[in-house]
Structures are given as structure tokens and as C-alpha cells.
Amino acid sequence: MNVWHKEHQFHGRLVMIGFGCIGQGVLPLLLRHIQMQPQQILIISPADTDWTIAAGYGVPCLPASLTPVNFRSVLELRLEPGDFLLNLSVDVSSVALIGLCQARGVLYLDSCIEPWAGGYLDPALPSAKRTNYALREAALALRTKDRRGPTAVLTHGANPGLVSHLLKQALLNIAQDTGLLVAAPDSRLAWAQLAQQLNVRVIHIAERDTQVGASRKAPGEFVNTWSVEAFVDEACQPAELGWGSHERHFPPDGARHDAGCRASIYLNRPGAGTRVRTWAPRAGPIHGFLITHAESISIADYFTVGEGEHPSYRPTVNYAYHPCDDAVLSLHELAGRNWHLQDHERILKEEITCGSDELGVLLLGHARGAYWYGSQLSIEQTRELCPHNSATSLQVTATVMAGVVWAMKNPDRDLVEPDEMPFDQILGLCRPYLGSVVGVYTDWTPLAGRSALFNEDIDRDDPWQFKNFRVT
């Protein structure tokens, strides 16, 4: 039997907003690793939430839906200085919650920067305003001048979140394996210069989910291994990617931002309608959906040397996601419905019969070609490690737990992104829940096996151009 270490003693109240698959999966981890009583936790979630797991742990619950009108009155009664607000909701503005936490001296963590309901899909908004780039810029604008406000950890799930820490370890592994012996850099610029020195030109967040449920997807049903609502929201946002300094073929449907860090671009099409070539050790070559994620922007920004649209170095960064097969069928049906959600939805968890989630970072262009580093977690391993999780959700919930612990131990770090946190400490907390953590080199490139029969418009002189990865 495992004897889990209590990483921190917490005396305040932890208010969790949202109790879907991630909230349900993280609850046992919080109680396992943080010394606090169940009564110190309060869960706020809509009235139709399944409260069974919370009741089993003796955690109090408040059925309520937070809106722009009521969120202050609901939360101000329940949050005091030193408390913690854990935001695992959808359709509740992260910027609004962070502002409230700053005013009340409350710690904060989310796994995704959310707008209010409808913000992702508001047809009155131009595409640029519906991007994660716009949401990130709005959140970062809340940083205090002295950067000593209450800690607010942005986007700290599996991805965004865990992958930023895996990336730093991967860079050190490549440096060691190519004879460039370096200590871990101690600043943002030093990390960016290391990536530049290694000639890492492209970074994929490459994920393949092979989990299968006992009953397959039915017509008119959206099936997934994590939140359907959150996945559909991001799938219908414009595709986004960090835009590298080596790129020489700007996408015909691409657009730049006219303010902010300018580290990324977006495409005038949904992420679920855009696919890219990528690779993972078990899956091999795959076509993944170019789903927008905050890490595509924050990693590109963090690893920039220089400024503006044309820095001296920046890698191209994108998420390449092949979800479970039933979710792929669900996306195909969703597109056929002109992006109107199906009438029924189902999250696979206890009914999963087999499969795994392979999630990692794929670094391309360096002296060894390509290197994938990440987590290979099966459903069987998941069930031995923590109840109420799928393999997909455990990669998220373990990182949420680690971020909460770090924030509690470092309560005055202001707004921070995963890229700014100590990667080794976070990986140390997460690693027991990640299954096999492996690093694999490959000679794969997006040009491998491409046939001249189809007369594709590709750049054979430079395999690492985005146009070569994109499936057209």
C-alpha cells in the first residue's frame, strides 16, 4: 500500500469551482497530498452536477452557477485572505475571478483561461477576439507592478501545464545526449538561448489517446475521455500556433495579432477542422487536430530571443491532438452539423475497458532530428494510482494538484504561467502519476513517405516548415 506524503499543511478554505471529470479526479489527490480536512473544501458547481464523489469524501457542496451578475456575491461571502480558489469550471471568466482574488488576497489556479459563457463562440466577435491569445493577454494584464501579489497560477493542467515542465527536461536531455553539458538555465532568456543553441525549430505537444469504452459512440452523441463542453469550445475556436522565426511560408488563411507579445498567429478556421502531421513513440506517425491551447502561445513567447514579429529565434509551437477514436467520430459528426453540438454527450471513465494516453513534447530540428519526451499512462495504471480518473484526466489532475501545492508554498508570486515555475519541483510531484515517462529519438520528419503522386505543395529543402506539417 502506498503511503502518500503530505506536501503541505493548509489552514484556510479551498473553494473549488466546477466538479466535472477534472474536479472529481483531483479531489482525492488534494486530500492525499495536502494536510487539510474535507470540511475545509467547498465545491461550487451547477445544480445538475453529480455530487456522489464529493459526498463520499464528506466535502460540502453548493449548487450554484456563477454568472457576471452573481459571482462576487457568491464568492465574497466564502473567501478570506489566504484562502484558495481552484477554478475547474467552464463558462466562468478567469479574468474576473483573478481580479476578485487579487482584491481579497486569495490564491488561485486554473487549468484553462475561460471567458464567460458564449465567449468562445460569439459570432459578433472577430476571430482574433475569440483566440486564446486574446484571453492570455487579458489575464497577463492583471499582473501587479511589483509582481508580489497573491499567487495566481494560469493554465496548469496537463496541457497547458505539465508539457511546459516536460519541455525543459527534454531540452536538458538533448543537450546531454549531444555533448552540450549544461546546468539547468536560471532565467527565461537562458532557456530560450539553450533551445536556440540546440537548434530546436519546432515543438509539438503530441498526444494520442487510445482509450475505448464498453459501448461505442452512437449517432447524435459526443463521446470523450474528458469534458465534452470544454473540448467542443476549444475545438471550435480558431486554430492557433506559436510562429517560429525560421518559417518562410505564411499560411494563406493565417492572420497576425496587432498588439501584445506577437508570438503566435491564428488561422481563420476551427482547430477541429485543421490537422497536422506529428509523431509519438507508440502511435508512430499520426494526423492530429491543431487545437488551440495556451501552451502554444506561452511556450513560443517564453522561448523567444529578440522581440516583435521577427525575433532572432523563436520555435514554431502547436498542439497536435489525436483524441480517442470515439471522440474523433464525434468531431466528424460535429463538423457535419456545422459545429452545433450533438443532443447527447458521454464522458468515458469507469466504463473504459482498455487503452492509454500518450502525451508528450516532440522537439524537432536539432542534431538528433526529433525527440519525444512524455507520459505513457494506461487505464490499468491509472486505476491502481488514483480513483475517479481516466488516463487522460489523471495527467491533468496530478498537475493541478502539484500546482496547488506549489502555490500554497509560494503565496506571493503574482500571476505566473507554467513556463515560469520550477519544472523539477512540479515534475517531482507529478511523476508518480504519469505511468512510464520516456524519451525517444526518431528519424521521422513530416516529409517521410510522402508520395510524389499527389503533387503536394511542400518545401523539400526544409522539412521543418509548417506547410510540411499541415494536412491539406
Domain residue ranges of the chain, discontinuous segments joined by +:
8-153, 162-394+423-471
Residue 451 has a pLDDT of: 74
Q: Say if CB 409 and CB 367 are below 8 A apart.
A: no
Q: At 350, which helix (H) or strand (E)?
A: none
As a whole number of angstroms, the distance between CA 287 and CA 274 comes to: 10
SS3 45: strand
Q: What is the pLDDT of residue 152?
A: 98
Cβ atoms of residues 397 and 22 within 8 Å: yes
Helices 294-302, 132-140: inter-axial angle, 10-degree rounding = 60
Planar angle of CA 43, 63, 153, nearest 5 degrees: 35
pLDDT at residue 3, rounded to an integer: 60
> Which pLDDT belongs to residue 15?
98
Residue that has been written with the C-alpha cell 467552464 in this structure: 90
Q: Give the model's pLDDT for residue 455.
A: 73
Predicted confidence at residue 289, as pLDDT, reads 98
Mark the ranges of the chain whose per-residue pLDDT is less than 50.
Answer: 1
The CATH number of the domain covering residues in 162-394+423-471: 3.30.360.30
How far apart are the C-alpha atoms of 375 and 71, rounded to whole Å? 37
Kindly provide the b/e burial profile for residues 287-304, where b requires at least 16 CB atoms within 10 angstroms of the residue's own CB. ebbbbbbbbbbbbbbbbb
Here the cell at position 260 is 501584445
Q: How far apart are CA 444 and CA 365, in angstroms?
A: 11
**What fold characterizes domain 8-153?**
Rossmann fold (3.40.50)
pTM over 0.85: yes
Residue 1 has a pLDDT of: 45
* Res 337: pLDDT: 96
Chain-centroid distance, C-alpha 212: 22
Handedness of CA 44, 50, 53, 55 (dihedral sign): positive
Give dist(CA 396, CA 70) in Å, integer.
29
Q: What number of other Cβ atoms are within 10 A of residue 148's Cβ?
A: 10
pLDDT of residue 120: 82
DSSP state of 454: G
Q: What is the reported pLDDT for 118?
A: 84
